[in-house]
Amino acid sequence: MNQDLEKRIQTLAQWLYESIYTVFFSGAGIGTESGLPDFRGPDGVWTRRDKGLAPRSMDKPWDEVAPNSGHYAIVELQKLDKLKFLISQNVDNLHLKSGIRPTLLAELHGNMTKLRCTQCGLTVDRTEGGSTCSCGGPLVSSVVDFGQPLPQRDLAFSFEHSRHCDLFVVVGSSLVVTPAAEIPAEALNAGAKLVILNAGETPFDKKAHLRFYETIGRVLPTAVRKLKKLMGLFE
């Protein structure tokens, strides 16, 4: 591992260690190592569209897609009580599948395995079936389509936690779709350190205190191992 990368990972571990309020923000980039396409990465859906190419086809069916080392590194942080909140733009259910507690997670664009009541906002598993909520409202797909309003509760929690954090870590998002573009600004205004792990450029690169262009799987699990050492825990 090159020295510069090693040093940056050590810095991330140190900041995770010192932080009392860490918020993570994930986008499609965290799913690429699970075989999912992202949007603006080198082989992403929009990048390919701009080149006149169709999206790369999925390697396997959705329910066989498994969380990867990046997802599990965040679960590890949850176990260490080092994760206050996780905001995700992904609808793939991989954070919940990996073991993230629902109370620590906001899914800004919904979740493909869940239905949402249009009246009271309650979400239920698709597998539970039914088309009517206990409140009488209709249950529809929870996935937010382009141009549709985002789930208000998840959005409010995201802003609230970002206002209180001292460390904001972006994993695999190009931070261009609103409100992705606004939430890190909220954290910066609160005086938080901003760390970005993303292969492509983001509008926040100049404001980031620490920047990784390497893959998430190469950085995050190692940072968590180093954090454990700092905490006096050994594997």
Q: β-strands 114-117, 123-125: how paired?
A: antiparallel
Q: Which is nearer to Zn ion, 66 or 135 (CB)?
A: 135
Structure tokens at 114: 């869940």
Rule CB under 5 A: choose which of 9, 73, 117, 165 binds Zn ion. Answer: 117
Contact 139, 117 (CB under 8 A): yes
- Residue span 121-160 as binding mask against Zn ion, x where in contact by CB under 5 A, dash where not: -x----------x-x-x-----------------------
If the CB atoms of residues 53 and 135 are measured against Zn ion, the closer one turns out to be 135
Residue 9, interface with Zn ion (CB under 5 A)? no
| Active-site pick, 71, 95, 109, 161 | 109
Q: Is 109 a catalytic residue?
A: yes
Residue 119 lies near Zn ion (rule: CB under 5 A): yes
Please tell me whether residue 26 adopts helix, strand or coil conformation. Answer: strand
Q: Which stretch binds Zn ion (CB under 5 A): 120-128, 187-195, 200-208, 227-235?
A: 120-128
Q: Which stretch binds Zn ion (CB under 5 A): 58-66, 78-86, 102-110, 116-124?
A: 116-124
Interacting stretch for Zn ion, rule CB under 5 A, among 41-49, 112-120, 166-174, 214-222? 112-120
User: 39 exposed, middle or buried (CB, 10 Å; 0-12, 13-18, 19+)?
Assistant: buried
Compute the least distance from the CB of residue 179 to Zn ion, in Å.
Answer: 24
Query: Is residue 179 near Zn ion by the rule CB under 5 A?
Result: no
- Angle among Cα 37, 67, 174 to the nearest 5 degrees reads 45
CB 103 within 8 A of CB 80: no
The minimum distance between CB 143 and Zn ion, in angstroms, equals 17
Dihedral of the CA atoms 96, 99, 103, 108 (nearest 10)?
-30
Instruction: Name the residue nearer to Zn ion (CB basis): 77 or 139.
Output: 139
Question: Nearest distance from residue 120's CB to Zn ion, in Å?
Answer: 3
Cα dihedral 69/73/79/80 (nearest 10)? 150
Q: Are 40 and 46 in contact (CB under 8 A)?
A: yes
Task: Measure the CA–CA gap between 44 and 168, rounded to whole angstroms.
Answer: 24
Check: CB of residue 36 under 8 Å from CB of residue 28.
Answer: yes
Q: Hey, which residues are catalytic here? A: 109
Note the residues at the interface with Zn ion (CB under 5 A).
117, 119-120, 122, 133, 135, 137
